[in-house]
Amino acid sequence: MTAGRVVVVLGYSSGDGAELHPVCAARLERAAEVATADDVVVLSGWARTSGRHSEAELMRAAWRGSAREVVVDPDARTTVENMANALNDVLRVGAREVVVVTSSWHAPRAKLALRWLLLHTGVRVRSASPAGRSTRASLREVVLWPLLPFQLWAAGRKSWRP
């Protein structure tokens, strides 16, 4: 099976609700705008609270866009885990391009993580973001950037285990 493109939608949650957080809903809406009937869409995000639906499952229930296939990844807990899990689908379908749908303040780190994981594959990575900015979230990103090399190293070790 060959798909030209995979659209990866990253979840967002405050961990206290049984419905999509407005940030996550905006990402999902943006993904529906960019996805086509030929794309594979990956919805990624975990359940922060035991016994609740994962962000990915909530997004699946709310998905109204086009897609050849919709994949639900309820296990990813970090940006790098989102990207590492999506990597399996990117390679499985032979995608030539990945569109990471996330907030503008999060997109640079998410794209860099996926580009690193796709190094030497020739797969293009770009992002699409809903409108809006968050100073608080941007400041949180500053704290998370230094963790990226360690998370990528751990993801690489995990994927190469026998």
Q: Residue 132: left if φ>0, alpha if ψ -120 to 50, beta else—which one?
A: left
Whether the Cβ atoms of residue 23 and residue 115 lie closer than 8 Å to each other: no
Tokens of 98: 């990945």
Q: Ranked by mean pLDDT, which of 9-18, 45-54, 95-104 comes out on top?
A: 95-104
What pLDDT is recorded for position 162? 38
Say yes or no to pLDDT of 19 above 70.
yes
- Total-model pTM: 0.83
**pLDDT single digits (tens) 68-108:** 999 999 998 888 899 999 999 999 999 999 999 999 989 99
d(CA 162, CA 159): 9
What pLDDT is recorded for position 160? 41
What pLDDT is recorded for position 118? 92
State phi, psi for 104 to the nearest 5 degrees: -60, -35
State phi, psi for 158 to the nearest 5 degrees: -65, -40
- Single out the residue of 139, 136, 74, 65 nearest to residue 101, CA to CA: 65
State phi, psi for 69 to the nearest 5 degrees: -150, 140
Percent of the chain past pLDDT 70, that is, above it, reads 80
Task: Give 3's pLDDT tier (boundaries 50, 70, 90).
Answer: low
**pLDDT single digits (tens) 114-142:** 998 998 899 999 999 998 766 665 666 66
Q: Name residue 126's amino acid.
A: R
